[in-house]
Structure 1
Amino acid sequence: MIFHIFTIFPEVFKEYFNTSIIGRAQKKKLIKIKVYDIRKFAKDKHRTTDDRPFGGGAGMVLKIEPIIKAVSSILNSKFEIRNSKFIILSPAGKKFDQKMAKSYANKYENIILLCGHYEGIDERIKKIVSDFGFRISDLSIGPYILTGGELPAAVVVDTISRHIPGVLGKEESLEEIKGSYPVYTRPEIFEYKGKKYRAPRILLSGDHKKIEAWRKSHSKSTFV
């Protein structure tokens, strides 16, 4: 799986993607993450990537030229558009969820993520990208407004990557069936300001059937 991220703030991703599970997955070559700086494809000396919206109104709009040039730069003879998904991160998009992440991980070889900013992107970009042959989706990670699409892009990469075989140490970590239950670790009893906080005894019993039943009964949510 290769993730292609188009952004005007490429420096945002470096630390997160080079650590923990995502960092290890890249070292094992299970995934590859490529980040493209849209500003490098701007034609003027100031590397301008935004402009005022036609018709007036607040904010700025990401320009069409640098984005189309940036996307075009990856379309060589080895790139298979039919095995690719083009995602535009937008607060107006469909809510991204676990089911979608699993589907994308199983279905596509390339995930392209365009990070929106300001008031959004020039709408004509979608038409041209569609003409390239891409399947396009506008996605949001929740009912709130963020400064840009960089954080949502990181969320999408992380969530999809977890469904790629070998990325996680244990498949159970996906929690698709069991849901999210309370977890505890050593010490068994923690004392703080004269009060003792004990881990549930059943988790130390060694009775796996009872432990499984306890976890199921205490599950907070179930992913599908």
Structure 2
Amino acid sequence: MRIDVVTIFPDYLKVLDLSLVGRAADRGTLDLHVHDLRDHAHDRHRTVDDTPLGGGAGMVMKPDVWGEALDDVLAVDAPAERRQVLIIPTPSGEVFTQRTAEDLAGADSLVLACGRYEGIDTRVPEHYASRGIEVRELSIGDYVLNGGEAAAVVMIEAIARLLPGVLGNPESLVEESHGAAGLLEYPVYTRPTRWRDLEVDPVLLSGDHARIARTRRDQAIARTVSRRPDMIANLDAAHLDREDRAMLATMGWAVPVGAGRPVPVRIRAATDSDAEALADLAARTFPDACEHVIAPEFIAKHVTTNLVPGLFRTWAADDRVDLVVAELLAPLPSSQASSGTEPIGASAGPDLVGYAAVLREEPDAAGELPRGIDPRPACVQSRHGQVVGELSKVYIDSSMRGSGLTPALMSTVMQQAAGHGVNLFWLGTHVTNKRAQKAYKRAGFRQAGTRTYNVGGQDAHDVVMIRRTGEGL
């Protein structure tokens, strides 16, 4: 690639000689030329600027001087298949990003016109665009510099390092910040492994390359969520695996069914004001667990008898119940909302798309257990001193299946319950619900037996699964 830079301060660009760009130029990998704009000013003072027409502060760079300079370096009659780009650094241009750098790295030649003062006469880019030259006015950020030279150096560094043979190790490009993954780079470390009482993650020393890759990916996601949520909002969902989605969900982002990008969500403790919305959510999610094996009339009876606003108000007020919800913070398009219901995000109440509850097996002062807790199956054997909790509910709206919310809800509610003393969890899920069983196994549960469970008057057969603290999550 050939790069030409036109400037009134040619020495400014000498900084490139100190970098990999300079080495690439010495090797011939890159053909770099710097030109003095004043060589094309023919008056005694080598004038390159004049006052702005219409008045105003500052000075504007003259089009006749720029035209002569650019005519010398631009190949206006170049073959159509040869791509040359005139780049004008300016704070009023489109934002220069890694994607821009990748695109420009595919050009045959670049000419960077470094303006000063109030900029270059607007007719200059207009003229060359009309002559068939590709013109890009680019900004490296929302701030103003004294001139385009610093921005030109930034752009040349970003573009040149993508060219074959410029970097010593091409693999350095694979996982860096702003790469194709759309994430910031994960934290990096070197020896010594302990420095000033700070230690690196032991996973990095384990030699387990799969675990290292997963840890780094999670760290990259966490760093991007914290520093650049705008990048998270633009992630391509097609490139996110199950672990990515689960990590994102724990940090407030989920990918709805059919959506190309994550949307913001919040997992929080339920309150009394969530009762109505929770009952609505329960009514549309409970059938997912057993609709193919329990008759609809029995499901409907169970929902209207048990999953009512009063139950959720009681749970929200009972300190023996850990109840958390997933709340959508931006409306979903109606095409992604649950079929047959009002589009999520259209109601006046909280837009709940998931909930989970753990009920502790502890009697109150009157000797009563929490409302709605199921009798513990005989196959769930507790050890001395263990506090037992039933993972009573983990449901998400059908629009959010595969979004990562299920493991995020489970992790949140079980951590809360463990903080309240629960060290043995159990749950029941229908024997035919293989999707749920796989999700619970990934969360560290194992099968302990079976039970018979009554749903609206019809018996259902459940798999019973348990997990002790320290296992799984």
State whether TM-score is above 0.5: yes
Distance, in Å, in 2 between the alignment partners of 1:24 and 1:207 is 37
Which among 180, 186, 191 is matched to residue 191 of structure 2? 186
8 Å contact 2:76–2:132 — kept in the other structure? no
Equivalent position of 2:16 in the other structure: 17
Equivalent position of 1:142 in the other structure: 141
Letter in 2 for 1:200: D
Deviation at 1:208, TM superposition (A): 1.1
Equivalent pairs, count: 218
Distance, in Å, in 2 between the alignment partners of 1:182 and 1:208 is 16
8 Å contact 2:76–2:133 — kept in the other structure? no
Does 2:232 correspond to 1:205? no
Equivalent position of 1:2 in the other structure: 2
The unaligned stretches of length 5 or more in structure 1 are none
8 Å contact 2:74–2:111 — kept in the other structure? no
> Bigger relative contact order, structure 1 or 2, given CA contacts below 8 A and separation 6+?
1
Deviation at 1:78, TM superposition (A): 9.0
1:94 aligned counterpart, secondary structure: strand
Distance, in Å, in 2 between the alignment partners of 1:201 and 1:11 is 48
Equivalent position of 2:101 in the other structure: 101
8 Å contact 2:76–2:131 — kept in the other structure? no
Structure (1 or 2) with the larger CA radius of gyration: 2
The unaligned stretches of length 5 or more in structure 2 are 225-230, 237-473
Instruction: State the percentage of identical aligned residues.
Output: 40
Taking a change above 3 Å as real, the CA distance of residues 157 and 62 of structure 1, as seen in their structure-2 partners, is same
Taking a change above 3 Å as real, the CA distance of residues 77 and 137 of structure 1, as seen in their structure-2 partners, is closer
Distance, in Å, in 2 between the alignment partners of 1:4 and 1:171 is 25
RMSD of aligned alpha carbons: 2.1
Instruction: After TM superposition, list the pairs within 5 Å mapping 1:22-171 onto structure 2.
Output: 22-75=21-74, 82-106=82-106, 108-171=107-170
Distance, in Å, in 2 between the alignment partners of 1:59 and 1:80 is 39
Residue-by-residue CA offset, 1:142-163 (whole Å, 9 max, x unaligned): 1111111111111111111121
Distance, in Å, in 2 between the alignment partners of 1:99 and 1:77 is 26
Taking a change above 3 Å as real, the CA distance of residues 147 and 85 of structure 1, as seen in their structure-2 partners, is same
1:93 aligned counterpart, secondary structure: strand
Letter in 2 for 1:63: K
Structure 1 consecutive aligned stretches of length 4 or more whose deviation exceeds 4 Å: 75-82
Deviation at 1:75, TM superposition (A): 4.3
TM-score normalised to the size of structure 2?
0.44
1:56 aligned counterpart, secondary structure: coil
Taking a change above 3 Å as real, the CA distance of residues 77 and 85 of structure 1, as seen in their structure-2 partners, is closer
Residue-by-residue CA offset, 1:50-108 (whole Å, 9 max, x unaligned): 111111100000011221111111246995574201111111100011111111112x1
Taking a change above 3 Å as real, the CA distance of residues 78 and 131 of structure 1, as seen in their structure-2 partners, is closer
